[in-house]
Amino acid sequence: MINSDTPDILKEIVEVKKERLDVRKKDLPIASLEGLIPERKRPLNFSGCLMGESVRIIAEVKRGSPSKGIFSKDIKTAELAKIYAENGAAAVSILTNEDFFYGSIDDLLEGHNTIYELGVPVLRKEFIFDPYQIYEARAYGADAILLIVSMLDKSQLVDFKNLATSLWMQCLVEVHDEGELELALESDAEIIGINNRNLRTFDTTLETTEILAPQVPNERIVVSESGISSRGDVERVVEAGAGAVLIGESLVTSDDPGFALRNFL
C-alpha cells in the first residue's frame, strides 16, 4: 500500500498500475524474472557516472506526461538513447509506465541493449510500490531505479532500497519537500532527486532545489528534476548544490535532441 497522504495523481497512477501488475505477475511470475537476471550483464555504476567536476545530465526518454499530454508516441527508445549517450549524457532515464507516460518495460531492455557497451547506465523511471517491479527492473536491464518518497513509508523505502542493492542496482530517491528529504537521508540514500514539480498542483519552480539542495550533506549526490529548460536553469540549480540534472521534455520535444543536450552541458 502507498501512503494515505500521497498526491492524488500518484494514487491514480498506482491504482491503474496495480491492475496491470496483477496480470503481469500471472504472465511472468517472479521466479521467472529471477531466472532472467543471470542473463543480464552486471549493472553499471550509476552514482559514479553522476560524479565529476562539471554538471552531469540524466537525459530522459519519455513520450508524454499527465501534465503535458503526449509529446510523441513515435519516439524510438534505442535511437534516442543512443543519441543521448553519444552527445554527453551521463545516464539515460527511461519511462516504463504505460498508461500515463506511454512507455513499456520493453523500452527499458531496448535502452539497456543499445547503450550498455557505451558505458552509459539506464534508470528505470516508474512508480514503484511492489518488490516485483524491482526484480522486473533488474531482469530488463536497469542499472538504477526511482523510489518516490511521497509514495512510501520509511520501512518500505529502506526495504526497497536494500532489495535493489542486493540486485546490484542503485536508487534515485526522489523528494519534494523537507519532510521527504529527512526520510530520504535517514534511509541513507546516496542519490537524492529533488523534484521541482509540485505533484499536487503541477506547479514547477526551481526554488524547490534552491531550498532543499543546501540541506543535503556534501557526500550525497543531488539531482535536480523537472522544470529545467535552459543552460541558465542548469547553472541556477548547480549553484544551489545540484551535481546533476534530469531533463526530459526539453530534449524529446526538440528537433535535434543531440544538439539540445550539448547546449545544456
Q: Which residue has the cell 499530454?
A: 69
Q: Let me know the angle formed at the C-alpha of 157 by 153 and 159, rounded to the nearest 5 degrees.
A: 120
pLDDT of 110-119, one tens digit each?
999 999 999 9
Q: 61 has which bridge partners?
A: 94
The span from the CA of 121 to the CA of 143, in Å, is: 6
The span from the CA of 14 to the CA of 16, in Å, is: 5
Arithmetic mean of pLDDT, 57-69: 89
pLDDT of 84-136, one tens digit each?
999 999 999 999 999 999 999 999 999 999 999 999 999 999 999 999 999 99
DSSP state of 143: S
Q: Are 154 and 183 in contact (CB under 8 A)?
A: yes
Report which residue type is found at 138: R
- pLDDT, residue 243, reads 97
Lowest-pLDDT choice from 6-10, 81-85, 170-174: 6-10
Q: Are 204 and 12 in contact (CB under 8 A)?
A: no
Q: pTM of the entire structure?
A: 0.95
Domains of the chain, first to last: 8-264 (3.20.20.70)
- Is it the case that residue 7 has pLDDT exceeding 60? yes
Active site residues per annotation:
60, 62, 125, 174, 195, 225-226
Report which residue type is found at 265: L
The span from the CA of 224 to the CA of 18, in Å, is: 28
